[in-house]
Amino acid sequence: MTGLRFVHCADLHLDSPPPGVAGQVVPFRDASRQALISIVDTCLEQEVHCLLIAGDLYDRDLQDSAPLVFFNQQMQRLADADIPVFLIKGNHDAANRAIGGLLAPNVHAFLPGAPQTELRQLGGLSVAIHGWSYAQGNEAGFQISDYPRAVADAINLGLLHTALEPGGPYAPCTPADLFAKGYDYWALGHAHVFKEFRQDGCLIINPGMPQGRKITEGGTKGAYLVEMVPGQAPQGRFFQTSSIEWARVEVDAQGLVTDSDLERLIRRRLEALVNEGNSQRFACRLQLVSVEPEIYAQRYAVKEQFERLFDGALDGRVFVESVRFEMRSGAADTAFEESASALAPLTKGEDLNQILKDLSEPLAKSLGTYGTEIGLTDISASLGEQDPEQVLLQALGYGRQPGQGG
């Protein structure tokens, strides 16, 4: 049976370097390019009739045309197979932020202004592709009513870069607004997570992004392959394009009091992640929970040690975004009580008032406004009116987090 088959992707952000992964920019830049290669490979393998790109091909802060050159090289692969490409610009690659340069001849870019319709014969079917590009970085005045009506006796595809927020700055609308247009498929971009809506034979898809760039863009990323037969609801499937996956790796450190014990446990967790995961490489945030006081007290040194040790570990399959510590519940309060108990004999000394005065005034000065905020000057001024032991306990308490400490 004759049908239409296409790939839909969005938010490639070509060559956008990730934040917070020092020394590893090149692998991540290459990962965004590899994601596009994977998309083109799938288009060729599946013999699709077109590729839809729903905005944010690259980032506004790129200073050269290298990503556009690379993009055109990949589009030429599709041109050689007579596969057309339809794209719109989003908030990151809007017309007023765009890198200049010509597009490959098989690429049709929708313009800013009023939404347009491109009619094509694809897969033996009449196909109407409706699209519109951002003129600037936000489009709060967008009206979905400006999109053309569905073309009769044709498959209608809509391209739109939107947050699906009625009051937001990025082409505000709702899924109900899109369903009301009577299109068969809406190819969305902007949200970096997968979203799907179905109603009365219409399918709305936001495929997420092909390659995550930071810890909040975790999990497997990819694009969407769609098959459409006249008179039937569209069918599609997500396919992976990400080669580096961002992951939070939680490690329960309770009972471990040496960094070598903790190191071995982290390595086992990372080995399990690599062996069981779907991606070639992983960018990890190590979240160490229930950390014992012995480790927590030297957390800055341990953090530096582990970031250096595990970044590029397991044959380059693991990168470290950061190492975070959370002290075991109750451990901080115990440590505080022990410290207060050990110092308690000092409060019996005759010169404690003078000692505290001598310390509080220069400390408050060195801490500046923060010293004022925590009341060091107030302590100094009222020492003669307070019990010295209470003053010392009060000073010990500064900086402790409620119920946790340190």
Domain ranges of the chain: 4-240, 244-327, 344-397
* Highest mean pLDDT (candidates 25-29, 254-258, 307-311): 254-258
Q: In Å, how far are 64, 364, 385 from 378, measured between CA atoms?
A: 57, 10, 11
Task: Please say if the pLDDT value at position 310 is more than 50.
Answer: yes
Q: What is the mean pLDDT of residues 68-85?
A: 97
Cα 84 from Cα 365, distance rounded (Å):
68
In whole angstroms, what is the distance from residue 38 CA to residue 46 CA?
12
Entry pTM: 0.79
Burial group, residue 390, by CB count within 10 angstroms (0-12, 13-18, 19+):
exposed
SS3 215: helix
Q: CATH number of the domain at 4-240, out of 3.40.50.2000, 3.60.21.10, 3.40.720.10, 3.40.50.1100?
A: 3.60.21.10
Instruction: Over range 164-168, report the average pLDDT.
Output: 93
Instruction: Tell me: pLDDT of 163 over 90.
Output: yes
The predicted model gives 380-402 an average pLDDT of: 51
For residue 179, pLDDT over 80 is answered with yes
Phi, psi (degrees; rounded to nearest 5) at 19: -80, 145
Percent of the chain scored above 90 by pLDDT?
65
Most confident of 72-86, 98-112, 278-292, 320-334: 72-86
pLDDT in tens, 283-298: 999 999 999 999 999 9
How far apart (Å, rounded) are the C-alpha atoms in residues 25 and 37? Answer: 19
Q: In the prediction, which pLDDT does 401 show?
A: 43
Q: What angle do CA 171, 56, 6 make, to 5 degrees?
A: 95
310: left (phi over 0), alpha (psi -120 to 50) or beta: alpha
Phi first, then psi: give them for residue 386, nearest 5 degrees: -120, 155
Is residue 283 within 8 A of residue 257, CB to CB? The reply is: no
Residue pLDDT, tens place only, 20-38? 555 555 677 789 999 999 9
Asked if the model's pLDDT at residue 402 lies above 50, the reply is no
Higher pLDDT, 83 or 392: 83
Residues paired with 197 in a beta bridge: 204
Long-range CB pairs of 380-383, under 8 A, 24+ apart, other chains included: 380/356, 383/353, 383/356, 383/357
Q: Which residue has the higher pLDDT, 357 or 103?
A: 103
Whole-number pLDDT of residue 120: 97
Going from the C-alpha of 273 to that of each of 32, 247, 280, 305, the distances in angstroms are 22, 9, 11, 21
Given a cut of 80, whether residue 41 has pLDDT beyond it is yes
- For residue 149, give the DSSP letter: P
User: What span, in angstroms and rounded, lies between the C-alpha atoms of 63 and 52?
Assistant: 25
Residue type, position 198, single letter: R
The Cα 293–Cα 140 span in angstroms is: 51
Read off the pLDDT of each residue in 132-144 and give the average, rounded to a whole number: 95
Cα–Cα distance between 249 and 242 in angstroms, integer?
19
- Do 34 and 79 contact (CB within 8 A), yes or no? no
Q: What is the pLDDT of residues 312-324, one digit of tens each?
A: 889 989 988 889 9
Q: Which of 282, 294, 11 is nearest to 162 (CA)?
A: 11
* 368 pLDDT higher than 80: no
244 and 31 Cβ atoms separated by less than 8 Å: yes
